[in-house]
Amino acid sequence: MGNELKIHPAADKFPMMDSKRYESLREDIRVNGLREPIILMDGMILDGRNRYMACRELGVKPKTINYKGNPFACVWSLNGERRDLLAEQRYLIWLECDREKNIWEDEQNRIKERANQKRSEATTKQHEVSKPYAGEKKPEMVVQQNVGEPSSHTSEITKKKAEASKTNAGAVARGNVLDEKRPDLAEKVRMGEMKPAEAHREMKRDQVKKKCLGK
């Protein structure tokens, strides 16, 4: 079927389907063909990793369409309500997508600014050396909080994060703790390699161990 397509980094913010759901998808493609096209960006799979894998196994030529825009916003929009995601896992995925979305947009703004600067220089035919672009200060992400914020403001931020991530305040609070204190465990939860409760238990065990060793 030709060279295998690479996976876009944004697609890997979500875990792959579990085996049961994948086999169901594969059988549907075998019987009905590929009904949903695979979305590509820069020649890489942005959405449809499981469909693509099933097509290759079945010898089905995949249909593809191209996407232009923020890839991290796209993958969250398409996959944020997946039924197989636990609430805290869903929040951690959203948190990662939101960070990367802001970074991508910031870089696009830099590219546009540099292009505008070059056009301006060409138009005015100025030969002076332009000051290097320092970039605007990145806006704080919605997930960041300032020390000493009023509790009412904190509650409002938590509510907004819960709505954006399609979860709840509890998932946001627990997810933030894991993300801040044990990002390694947060990554495992995000990718479905560890249940949230198990990750929190391991974090507490390690905290107790460190406390005992510190005495």
Q: Does residue 72 share a domain with residue 166?
A: no
- CATH number (domain holding residue 19): 3.90.1530.30
For the entire predicted model, the pTM comes to: 0.81
Domain range enclosing 68: 11-79
Residues of the chain with pLDDT > 70: what percent?
A: 86
d(CA 186, CA 194): 9
Q: Does residue 158 share a domain with residue 101?
A: yes
Q: At 191, phi and psi to the nearest 5?
A: -90, 5
Query: Which has more confidence, 154 or 94?
Result: 94
Q: Does residue 164 share a domain with residue 69?
A: no
DSSP assignment of 31-53 equals HH---SPEEEETTEEEE-HHHHH
Question: Nearest Cα to 48, choosing from 58, 56, 38, 40?
Answer: 38
CA dihedral 7, 9, 15, 16 (to 10 degrees): -10
pLDDT digits (tens, 9 = 90+) for 74-120: 999 999 999 899 999 999 999 999 999 999 999 999 999 998 988 88
Q: Does residue 119 share a domain with residue 31?
A: no
Question: Nearest Cα to 49, choosing from 74, 80, 14?
Answer: 14
Residue 63 lies in a domain: yes
Q: Does residue 100 share a domain with residue 15?
A: no
d(CA 175, CA 182): 10
Q: Does residue 55 share a domain with residue 38?
A: yes
What is the number of structural domains in the chain? 2
pLDDT digits (tens, 9 = 90+) for 109-152: 999 999 898 888 888 765 555 555 455 454 444 455 545 556 67
Find the radius of gyration of the CA atoms of the chain.
22
